[in-house]
Amino acid sequence: MEQLIAEGLTLPQVKMNVRHLFYPGLYIREMSAPSDTLIVGMVHKQAQVNIMSKGVAKLRAQDGEFVEVRAPQIFLGAPGRKVAYVIEDMVWLNVFATDERDVETVERMFIEDSPALIEHKKTLMLTRDTQAFNAMLAECGYSPEGARVLCEQTDDMIEFPIGEYKIKVGHSLIDGRGIIATADISAGEVICHARIDGKRTPAGRYTNHSDTPNAEMIVLSGNLYLRAVNHIEGCRGGLDGEEVTINYRQVFELRRRLKI
C-alpha cells in the first residue's frame, strides 16, 4: 500500500475539496471527490461514523474485494485504511466525537499519516524570503524580534467559532505554521474571523506575510475577517491546498487607523 501511495504521488493530484465542520462535541470532515478517482485513505486509529451523502464508489473490503456502495449511506467504519474507486462524483463525511477545533490536532488523535506522504511533504519545504520580510517590518516600524513577540503572545487568543471552514492551521512553506486552504476559495469570499471583540482567532495569529498576497483583512461589524482577493486552491489528492497569505503592511495600517 505504501508503494501504491508513493507511486501515486508522482502523478497529478485530483482536486478534492475538504471542509471542516465544528459543532458542540463533534468534528465532521467533508470530502468531495470526482468520478474516476482512486482514493487511498489514511489509517484510522479507531472506528468512526461514515456518511456517504452523494455518489457511487467501490470500497476495498477486509478480504481485498471491492464492494459497491451508493449514497445515501451511514455506517460505522472499522479501524484501518479505506481504499475507494469513485464511480460517480462523491461527497463523504467522517464524524469524530471531540470538542477539539484544531484540525491537525484532531488528525493526530484519530489518524496515522502515511510514511510515503510524510516524505513527499518534506520535499515541498521552501525557505522564507527573510530579507524581503525584514524590509517590510522596517517600513512598518517593527523589528523582527518585536514582531515575533507580538505574534507569539497568547493571552488574546481564542478558538475559531463553531461553524464550517475551508481552511486549517497547518505546516507553512513560508514560516512555521500558517493558514492552509483545504477547499477552493473564490476571490472576494470571506474566509473566516481573524479578530473578535479584540481577541485573535488562529487566523489572526497564523496568517503569514507575502508581498504578493492572496487575501486581505477587512472590517465587518467591528471585527476583523480574512477575505480572499484571488482564487485560492484547495486540497489536491492527499496534499494540502495553497497557503492563505496577507500583506502585513495592510494589516499594520488597518490596526493603526482603527486603533486595534
3-state secondary structure of 254: helix
Q: Please check the confidence at residue 124 and state whether its pLDDT lies above 70.
A: no
- The predicted structure's pLDDT at residue 174: 83
Domains of the chain plus CATH, in order, are 2-120 (2.60.120.10), 126-258 (2.170.270.10)
CB 52 within 8 A of CB 71: yes
Least confident interval from 78-92, 116-130, 158-172, 175-189: 116-130
Own/partner pairs, 37-40, CB within 8 angstroms, 24+ separation: 37/85, 37/86, 38/8, 38/83, 38/84, 38/85, 38/86, 39/82, 39/83, 39/84, 39/85, 39/86, 40/1, 40/4, 40/5, 40/8, 40/81, 40/83, 40/114, 40/238
Mark out the alpha helices in 14-129 (DSSP H runs): 103-110, 115-122
pLDDT for the residue numbered 260? 65
Q: Is the pLDDT of residue 51 over 70?
A: yes
187, three cell numbers? 476571490
Q: What is the pLDDT of residues 219-244, one digit of tens each?
A: 999 899 999 999 999 999 888 999 99
Q: Provide the 10 A C-beta neighbour count for residue 249.
A: 15
More confident residue, 205 or 61: 205
Question: Most distant CA pair in the chain: distance in Å?
Answer: 64
**Separation in Å, CA 95 to CA 23, 30, 258:** 11, 9, 41
- Single out the residue of 45, 243, 235, 9 nearest to residue 118, CA to CA: 9
Average pLDDT, rounded, for the chain: 89
The pLDDT of residue 118: 74
Indicate the SS3 state at residue 119.
helix
pLDDT of res. 130: 66
What pLDDT is recorded for position 189?
Answer: 98
ω before 72 within 30° of 0 (cis)?
A: yes
pLDDT value, residue 4? 81
Going by pLDDT thresholds of 50, 70 and 90, the confidence category of residue 253 is confident
| pLDDT tens by residue, 81-111 | 889 999 999 999 999 999 999 999 999 999 9
Whether the pLDDT of residue 143 is over 90: the answer is no
pLDDT score at 105:
95
pTM recorded for the entire structure: 0.85
228 contacts 215 by C-beta, under 8 angstroms: yes
pLDDT (0 to 100) of residue 127: 52
The per-residue pLDDT for 257 is 80
Grid-cell match 445515501, residue found: 72
Distance CA 253, CA 142 (A): 13
Q: What is the pLDDT of residues 15-38, one digit of tens each?
A: 999 999 999 999 999 999 999 999
Q: Which residue has the higher pLDDT, 102 or 142?
A: 102
- The candidate with the shortest Cα–Cα distance to 19, out of 72, 92, 69, is 92
